[in-house]
């Protein structure tokens, strides 16, 4: 299970989200105050096989040493092999209902949603939290949908009771309104991974999400 407060500042990264060493970026992000990390090795020039596994192991170690929950994107077998704290899936992946049957009980399972219907279904099928997005325009996800905006986020917040983390184009200028709208946290990639100083960036986002 994942605590609501662990979702406050949810950092996601794979090797193609940074020009720097991802292990260093993750450590800086943790120093700045992230509360959970998702390993998302996806898209152009993403690592596969042993290289993906090796990077994941290194990132998991950094999380373990710092008591930060480690979540794996998409790959249930990898999440189990990593002894991760959770798995995160999208709408095109296997259903959360089936995944929950296959994973150890202590692993949390999150689902990406962008509509009220998907959110209600995810909750019904046992998701521990939902990632709602994209809220704003994002350059990070190649196949991102049309942004649902603050209004879209609000309609989903009204309809589900499981924890909600908002994603897509979130930065330190628009983060506060997400929390004020009632989300439990923000999930970001580029606002931490693609900046000069990830520690400062994470610190600013943390401050913005501390109401
Ligand atoms: N999922 P950035 S948007 C991984 O809408 C991801 O489900 C999204 O990156 C969704 O913080 C997105 O750089 C990319 O905008 C988020």
- pTM confidence score: 0.98
Q: Taking 90 as the threshold, does the pLDDT of residue 46 lie above it? A: yes
For residues 127 and 173, give the distance between their C-alpha atoms in angstroms, rounded to a whole number: 29
Give, for ligand 1, the residue of 93, 134, 170 to mutate: max count of ligand atoms closer than 8 Å to Cβ: 134
106-151 pLDDT, tens digit per residue, is: 999 999 999 999 999 999 999 999 999 999 999 999 899 999 999 9
Nearest to 133 by CA among 87, 95, 183: 183
Buried-state track 153-164, b at ≥16 Cβ within 10 A, e below 16: beebbeebebbb
Is the complex ipTM more than 0.90?
Answer: yes
28-42 pLDDT, tens digit per residue, is: 999 999 999 999 999
149 assigned to a ligand binding site: no
70-112 pLDDT, tens digit per residue, is: 999 999 999 999 999 999 999 987 889 999 998 999 999 999 9
Ordered by where they begin, the domains of the chain are: 4-209 (3.20.20.70)
5-22 pLDDT, tens digit per residue, is: 999 999 999 999 999 999
User: Is the CB of 14 inside a 6 Å radius of any atom of ligand 1?
Assistant: no
Q: Taking 80 as the threshold, does the pLDDT of residue 49 lie above it? A: yes
Average pLDDT in the chain: 96
Closest C-alpha to ligand 1, atom 16: 168
For residues 176 and 208, give the distance between their C-alpha atoms in angstroms, rounded to a whole number: 5
């Amino acid at each position: 299970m994942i605590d609501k407060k662990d979702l406050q500042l949810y950092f996601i990264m794979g090797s193609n989200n940074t020009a720097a060493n991802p292990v260093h970026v993750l450590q800086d992000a943790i120093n700045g105050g992230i509360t959970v990390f998702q390993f998302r090795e996806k898209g152009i020039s993403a690592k596969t096989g042993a290289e993906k596994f090796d990077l994941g192991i290194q990132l998991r170690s950094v999380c373990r040493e710092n008591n930060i929950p480690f979540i794996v994107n998409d790959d249930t077998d990898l999440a189990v092999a990593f002894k991760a704290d959770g798995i995160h899936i999208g709408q095109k992946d296997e259903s959360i209902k089936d995944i929950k049957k296959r994973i150890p009980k202590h692993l949390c399972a999150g689902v990406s949603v962008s509509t009220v219907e998907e959110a209600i279904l995810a909750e019904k099928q046992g998701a521990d939290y939902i990632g709602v997005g994209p809220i704003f325009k994002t350059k990070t996800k190649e196949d991102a949908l049309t942004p649902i905006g603050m209004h879209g986020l609000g309609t989903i917040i009204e309809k589900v009771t499981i924890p909600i983390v908002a994603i897509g184009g979130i930065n330190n200028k628009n983060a506060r309104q997400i929390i004020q709208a009632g989300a439990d946290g923000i999930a970001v990639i580029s606002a931490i991974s693609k900046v000069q100083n990830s520690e400062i960036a994470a610190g600013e986002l943390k401050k913005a999400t501390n109401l």
